[in-house]
Amino acid sequence: MASLLPELARSGEPYDALQARWRSLLDALARHGIPAVICTIFRHVARPRDGSPDTTTETIERIRRLDLVAAELSHDTGASVADVDRALAHVGARHLSTDHRLGGPLAAEAAAWTIVAALLDGPLDQVVDPDVLQRAQSLQGSVWDVDRVVNRRMRRAR
């Protein structure tokens, strides 16, 4: 399990170098039979409220490019993708009260739900009995059930 979120801070590195570094890591894992899951980054960026420079546009552009890198790496290496961006966008940043850093319990839970769904849909089929995996998938639900989980938590919190 690996997230591209730390790559936001490495904005000086060219995308080709970033992809090569990640491809090398993922290829090494695959050679050892270790399945990999790459997490995308939620593309909502909160505007600064502390008077610091607004880099929202640049950060969103970098997130979009990094999420594209995740898809390309998956295609090239066979790694699975936990599309946190897509699932959380389905629920909505305002509803989750979060941004790309996934602060808050609802955002963390929604991201975890997405990661579990990706694990159940991908690399676990190599190590878990198919009947057990299918039962787990039916209990978990699809990644699109994440909004149901978030809404249930919000009702409990009231």
Q: What is the average pLDDT value for the chain, to the nearest integer?
A: 88
Q: Which residue range(s) make up the domain with 23?
A: 2-157
In the prediction, which pLDDT does 152 show?
75
Could you tell me which residue, 75 or 110, shows the higher pLDDT?
75
Supply the DSSP string of 44-69, one letter for each residue: --PPPSSS----HHHHHHHHHHHHHH
**Number of domain units in the chain:** 1
The answer to whether the CB of 133 falls within 8 A of the CB of 125 is yes
The string of pLDDT tens digits covering residues 47-69 is 888 878 888 899 999 999 999 99
Q: Is residue 76 scored above 90 in pLDDT?
A: yes
Q: In this structure, are strands 80-82 and 2-3 parallel, antiparallel, or unpaired?
A: unpaired
Q: Hey, is 2 helix, strand or coil?
A: strand
What pLDDT does 50 receive? Answer: 82
pLDDT in tens, 98-113: 889 988 778 888 898 8
d(Cα 148, Cα 134) in Å, to the nearest integer? 20
Stated as kind and residue range, the H or E segment containing 81 is strand 80-82
- Is residue 70's pLDDT more than 90? yes
What CATH number should be reported for the domain holding residue 45? 3.40.50
Flag whether pLDDT at 158 surpasses 70: no
